[in-house]
């Protein structure tokens, strides 16, 4: 039994936060984004062409003649062209930014080259640079980017176009979306800018864009706020516009990541008017088919949809129904229409269904290929040996911060190089998980959603929170280093919607390694310490190779420590990049022994029981509890109202002010509320 549990823990290199750098490591394989062959660029294609000398020489002569004519008449022609200029979908990366006298700033770490698109002209392949018109200078006018057919047509792939939309608050998601879409080899995409600030940034980044002029907030939309509901209406209107222009349209939320070119999949279902992703955890589909009728009934998610112009009447009714009631949520109303008298379509074996009162043929995308945040975590695709097309960061906690963190954990977030630097350095540690607690969770028979049913789970998580607390304190004391969060082990699934059978008890085998948003309030942490923590997989990424090469290991000795363990009365001198430290040091001793290490090393990694590294005084407990109290999240949920139970980083410190803002007396116990 112990061997099986240890093998399970080591499957993703989770016992040691120092992730394996081997290319064949399961952890590396799980995080590695899926690659597609690079698309042929313009210059490569030109180099492959050949022409004879009898063609070359006349061509050179013609070019010389053209040059003389251009010198004579260039100013006149340039004036005429400028007057008739129609803007392209995006401005060039190099040159002058529209409406400014300053050069446009290129994002060097995100290479969105000005791609050349292939199209057919009289049966022969030709090339057109979609950004060539950006060299013509004219005053900045956002209305030049209002959506029109001639803007989209050169980008489309046989009438197919992928569309997302974004406001300024989610600009980093837009960059990530475009980066991964480009990696699939798909360039048939365009992005809606909801505000002018976003439009300018997308133009600078050379991302094909159009202006939505939404007049909504440039901050986070929140959840079910007026701006959130209005955003859904802007999305529906955007979909209507693309269908009215005649394009087969893939609509994707900007918090999705694309891993494969999706259009070959959609082309297999030519009769489908509409295909939508789902909310379910498990899949009823094998191979690359659509969800069956039983899987399709559990709610669709409009974060990923593919619609053909035949679905225009559906979208128009969707919009009309939302306009009649300002409180209607776009996804709820689409579900209502989609499921109206839904039945299996006659004489079909492809999984397509009769939807919208028999007016359309549609289907639900397989959850194993078009994953949501929960189904990907449960490894539905990996278990079936399938490669997902997309991962939509839905069903994730801690709002936008949680989505960003989850994608980083999985290796599907393209960070700037600056994230792998820090003015002080990084602190990591081994997450010590007591084997007896893992076995208790595995063998626990009470699966109810009651307080007794979650006791083994809290025993397991709390033992790890004690270590995390000390790591966060140590990182602060050692000059403000960034702490690498551990991959915490859980004994109970986070259940945000108790009572729904298909969500109530998912397939995750207990215990399981949980993402950070299951335990921590990442919104608070991003607000208060945005540069003082990193995701658990941070040091396992290729960009962190140089960090691991400059790492010192601090071993926390046993209480019966050898004499060679540092007391903390003088700076520790590393031997072979290693230091041994006695347990239960004061903060002063910790600083004295280790703070100088960051002058020579980029990573300080702790081995042994992290929770035994330091002992806090009463005043230090008060100070750090006040600093860190809001960083812990909550477990959801046990039966009853309120059903959530707050995690507490200081759960094992008697006399501290707990999450209920009361002095904790006696042992900590899980208590729902407040």
Among residues 23, 26, 2, the alpha carbon closest in space to that of 12 is found at 26
**106, 118 contact by CB (below 8 A):** no
Taking the C-alpha atoms of residue 673 and residue 659, their distance in angstroms, rounded to an integer, is 10
**Residue 389's pLDDT band (cuts 50, 70, 90):** very high
- For residue 182, what are its two tokens? 């480009």
Task: Return d(Cα 256, Cα 541) in angstroms, integer.
Answer: 21
Burial of 36 (0-12, 13-18, 19+ CB in 10 A): middle
The band of 34, judged by pLDDT with boundaries at 50, 70 and 90, is: very low
pLDDT at 255 over 70: yes
Six-digit token pair at 528? 């208060």
The pLDDT value recorded for residue 146 is 97
Which residues are registered as beta bridge partners of 276?
305, 364
* Dihedral sign for Cα atoms in the order 297, 302, 307, 313: positive
Mean pLDDT, range 605-623, rounded to an integer: 97
pLDDT band at 6 (very low <50, low <70, confident <90, very high): low
Predicted confidence (pLDDT) at residue 3 exceeds the cutoff of 70: no
Q: Domain 137-392 belongs to what architecture?
A: Alpha-Beta Complex (3.90)
Looking at residue 44, what is its pLDDT?
32
What b/e sequence results for 348-372 when a residue is b if at least 16 CB atoms lie within 10 Å of its CB, and e otherwise? eeebbbbbbeebbbbbbbbbbbbbb
The pLDDT value given to residue 291: 84
Distances in Å between the Cα of 545 and the Cα atoms of 273, 541, 542 are 48, 7, 6
Taking every pair of Cα atoms in the chain, the longest distance, rounded to a whole number of angstroms, is 95
Q: Determine the average pLDDT of the residues in 15-32.
A: 36
Judged by average pLDDT, the poorest of 271-280, 559-568, 571-580 is 559-568
Same fold, 137-392 and 424-646: no
Q: Extract the tokens encoding 150.
A: 């001639």
Residues 465 and 482: their CA atoms lie apart, in Å, by 17
Which is more confidently placed, 406 or 448? 406
Question: How many angstroms separate the CA atoms of 553 and 545, rounded?
Answer: 16
Report which DSSP code applies to 94: S
Backbone angles phi, psi at 534, to 5 degrees: -135, 160
d(CA 303, CA 551): 41
Most confidently predicted of 37-46, 121-130, 449-458, 531-540: 531-540
Residue 561's pLDDT is what?
Answer: 67
Extended beta strands in 545-667, E state: 551-556, 578-581, 603-607, 634-635, 645-646
Q: Are 216 and 227 in contact (CB under 8 A)?
A: yes
Quick one: pLDDT at residue 384? 62
User: Who contacts 56 (Cβ-Cβ below 8 Å, separation ≥6)?
Assistant: none
DSSP string of 574-597, one letter each residue: -SSSEEEE-SSB-HHHHHHHHGGG
CA nearest 632: which of 392, 413, 462, 439? 462
Distances (CA, A) of 300 to 227, 279, 289, 366: 22, 6, 16, 11
Domain ranges of the chain: 137-392, 424-646
Q: Compute how many other C-beta atoms are within 10 angstroms of the C-beta atom of residue 20.
A: 15
Kindly report the number of other CB atoms within 10 A of residue 435's CB atom: 12
Mean pLDDT of 45-51: 32
Taking residues 230-255, report their average pLDDT: 97
pLDDT tens digits for 157-167? 999 999 999 99
How confident is residue 42, by pLDDT bands cut at 50, 70 and 90? very low
pLDDT digits (tens, 9 = 90+) for 495-519: 754 443 333 445 678 899 999 999 9
Q: Considering only CA atoms, which of 434, 453, 455 is closest in space to residue 445? A: 453
Q: Roughly what angle, to the nearest 10 degrees, separates helices 171-183 and 399-410?
A: 30
Whats the size of the chain, residue-wise?
674
8 pLDDT tier (thresholds 50, 70, 90): low
**What per-residue string of b and e applies to 129-152 under the rule 16 or more CB within 10 Å gives b?**
bbbeebeeeeeeebebbebeeebb
As a whole number of angstroms, the distance between CA 632 and CA 650 comes to 10
Strands (DSSP E) found in 330-447: 343-344, 353-355, 360-364, 370-372, 390-392, 426-429
Confirm if 427 and 484 have CB atoms less than 8 A apart: yes
Q: In whole numbers, what is the pLDDT of the chain averaged over residues? A: 81
Res 502: pLDDT:
35
Of 102-116, 544-558, 606-620, which range is least confident? Answer: 102-116
- Determine whether domain 424-646 maps to CATH 3.30.160: no
* Integer angstrom CA distances of residue 317 from 304, 333, 362, 504: 19, 10, 16, 33
In DSSP terms, 566 is beta-bridged to: 581
What is the C-alpha to C-alpha distance for residues 350 and 285, in angstroms, rounded to an integer?
Answer: 11
pLDDT of residue 7: 52
Distance, CA of 30 to CA of 37 (rounded, Å): 19
Both tokens of residue 32? 């590695």
Lowest mean pLDDT among 95-104, 225-234, 395-404: 95-104
Q: What is the mean pLDDT of residues 475-486?
A: 98
Closest CA to 484 of 9, 10, 18: 18
Tokens representing 298 are 């559990």
pLDDT tens per residue, range 652-667:
999 999 999 999 988 9
Instruction: Give me the percent of the chain exceeding a pLDDT of 70.
Output: 76
| Residue 14 near residue 487, CB atoms below 8 Å | yes
Give the pLDDT band (50/70/90) at residue 563: confident
Give whichever of 47-56, 119-128, 169-178 has the largest mean pLDDT.
169-178
What per-residue confidence (pLDDT) applies to 54? 36
For the whole model, what pTM was predicted? 0.80
The pLDDT of residue 654? 92
Predicted local confidence at residue 669, as pLDDT: 93
Could you give phi then psi for residue 671, rounded to 5 degrees?
-140, 120
Mean pLDDT comparison of 46-50, 282-286, 341-345, highest-scoring range: 341-345
Spatial contact of 621 and 479, defined as CB atoms under 8 Å apart: no
């Amino acid at each position: 039994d112990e061997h099986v549990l240890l093998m399970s823990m080591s499957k993703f290199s989770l016992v040691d936060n120092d992730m394996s750098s081997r290319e064949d490591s399961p952890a590396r394989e799980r995080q590695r984004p899926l690659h597609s062959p690079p698309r042929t660029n313009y210059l490569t294609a030109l180099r492959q062409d050949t022409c004879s000398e009898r063609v070359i020489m006349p061509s050179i002569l013609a070019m010389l003649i053209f040059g003389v004519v251009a010198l004579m008449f260039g100013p006149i022609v340039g004036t005429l062209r400028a007057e008739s200029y129609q803007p392209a979908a995006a401005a060039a990366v190099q040159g002058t930014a529209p409406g400014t006298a300053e050069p446009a700033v290129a994002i060097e770490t995100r290479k969105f080259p000005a791609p050349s698109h292939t199209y057919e002209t009289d049966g022969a392949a030709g090339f057109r640079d979609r950004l060539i018109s950006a060299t013509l200078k004219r005053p900045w006018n956002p209305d030049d980017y209002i959506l029109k057919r001639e803007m989209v047509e050169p980008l489309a792939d046989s009438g197919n176009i992928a569309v997302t939309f974004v406001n300024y608050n989610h600009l980093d998601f837009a960059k990530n979306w475009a980066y991964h879409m480009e990696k699939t080899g798909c360039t048939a995409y365009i992005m809606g800018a909801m505000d002018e600030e976003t439009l300018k940034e997308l133009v600078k980044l050379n991302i094909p864009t159009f202006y939505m002029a939404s007049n909504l907030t440039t901050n986070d939309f929140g959840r079910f706020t007026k701006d959130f509901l209005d955003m859904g209406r802007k999305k529906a209107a955007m979909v209507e516009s693309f269908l009215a222009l005649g394009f087969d349209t893939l609509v994707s939320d900007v918090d999705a990541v694309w891993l494969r070119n999706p259009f070959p999949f959609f082309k297999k279902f030519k009769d489908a008017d509409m295909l939508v992703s789902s909310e379910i955890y498990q899949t009823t589909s094998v191979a690359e088919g659509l969800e069956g009728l039983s899987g399709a009934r559990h709610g669709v998610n409009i974060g990923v949809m593919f619609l053909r112009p035949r679905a225009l009447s559906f979208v128009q009714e969707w919009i009309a129904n939302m306009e009649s009631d300002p409180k209607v949520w776009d996804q709820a109303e689409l579900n209502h229409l989609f499921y109206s008298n839904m039945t299996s379509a006659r004489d079909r074996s492809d999984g397509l269904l009769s939807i919208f009162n028999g007016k359309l043929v549609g289907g639900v995308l397989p959850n194993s290929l078009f994953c949501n945040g929960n189904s990907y975590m449960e490894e539905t695709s990996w278990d079936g040996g399938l490669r997902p097309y997309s991962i939509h960061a839905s069903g994730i906690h801690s709002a936008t911060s949680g989505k960003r963190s989850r994608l980083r954990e999985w290796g599907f977030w393209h960070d700037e190089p600056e994230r792998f630097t820090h003015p002080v350095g990084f602190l990591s540690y081994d997450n010590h998980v007591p084997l007896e607690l893992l076995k208790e969770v595995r063998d626990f028979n009470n699966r109810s959603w009651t307080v007794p049913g979650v006791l083994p789970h809290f025993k397991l998580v709390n033992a790890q929170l004690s270590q995390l607390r000390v790591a966060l304190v140590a990182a602060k004391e050692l000059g403000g280093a960034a702490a690498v969060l551990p991959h915490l082990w859980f004994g109970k699934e986070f259940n945000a919607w108790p009572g729904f059978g298909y969500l109530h008890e998912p397939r995750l085998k207990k215990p399981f390694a949980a993402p950070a948003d299951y335990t921590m309030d990442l919104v608070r942490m991003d607000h208060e310490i945005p540069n003082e923590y990193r995701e658990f997989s941070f040091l396992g990424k290729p960009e962190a190779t140089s960090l691991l090469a400059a790492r010192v290991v601090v071993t926390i000795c046993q209480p019966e420590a050898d004499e060679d363990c540092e007391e903390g009365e003088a700076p520790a001198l590393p031997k072979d990049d290693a230091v041994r430290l006695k347990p239960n040091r004061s903060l002063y001793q910790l600083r004295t022994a280790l703070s100088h290490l960051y002058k020579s090393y980029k990573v300080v990694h702790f081995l042994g029981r992290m929770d035994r590294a330091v002992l806090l005084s009463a005043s230090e407990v008060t100070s750090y509890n006040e600093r860190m109290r809001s960083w812990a999240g909550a477990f959801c949920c046990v039966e009853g109202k309120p059903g959530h139970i707050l995690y507490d980083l200081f759960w094992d410190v008697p006399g501290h002010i707990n999450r209920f803002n009361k002095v904790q007396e006696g042992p900590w116990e899980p208590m729902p509320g407040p």
